Amino acid sequence: MSEGIRAYIGLGSNLDDPRAQLDQAVAALGRIPGCQIQRVSSYYHSLPMGPQDQPDYLNAVAVLLTTLSAEALLDALQLIEQQQGRIRERHWGPRTLDLDLLLYGEQVIDSERLQVPHAGLFQRNFVLYPLQELEPEMVFPCGEKMKEIISGCSKEGLERLDNQ
């Protein structure tokens, strides 16, 4: 696939062997028709963002080249979550897999179903550091530069892991 839109996907898991969950999700991303994985960041160990009565998370970011619309890609991501046993019990609660459409090309999307860039993107070190690993010179759709955003983002509670 030589043409398409670059889409950045946030991956997270804190249940049922998170490393295996992320590995399976990366493989599933590569099987989405109209999508090709370009790169995947290292995995990062992070503290839960919401309630602290849950296990720590494993997070990563993948970049895809896709010919799918943003909504069709969101549908594919939600199907992968379901196939890996995602149950939505509480906001920011534990999960087998969370796949978030972080960025979709240079587009800004604000619909009832989808917000891109992803809401809270700039406040989440478990997204920004893996994203910086992939795109250190990124300029976000709002015009902000990765270097500026990351300089104000703490690494507290975040540890980069070897994916092996």
7-30: pLDDT as tens digits: 999 999 999 899 999 999 999 999
User: Measured on CA atoms in the order 89, 23, 9, 56, is the torsion positive or negative?
Assistant: positive
The catalytic residues are: 86, 95, 98, 100
Region class of 143: left (phi > 0), else alpha (psi between -120 and 50), else beta: left
Confirm or reject CATH 3.40.50.2000 for domain 5-161, answering yes or no. no
Domain ranges for the chain, please list them. Answer: 5-161
Residue 148: the pLDDT is: 94
At residue 3, the pLDDT reads 83
In one letter, which amino acid is 102?
L
Apex 103 CA angle, 98 and 107, nearest 5: 140
* pLDDT at residue 141 tops 90: yes
pLDDT in tens, 51-72: 667 889 999 999 999 999 999 9
Q: Could you report the per-residue pLDDT of 59-114, keeping only the tens digit for each?
A: 999 999 999 999 999 999 999 999 998 776 666 667 889 999 999 999 999 999 99
Distance CA(106)–CA(94), nearest Å, equals 31
- Confidence (pLDDT) at 116: 95
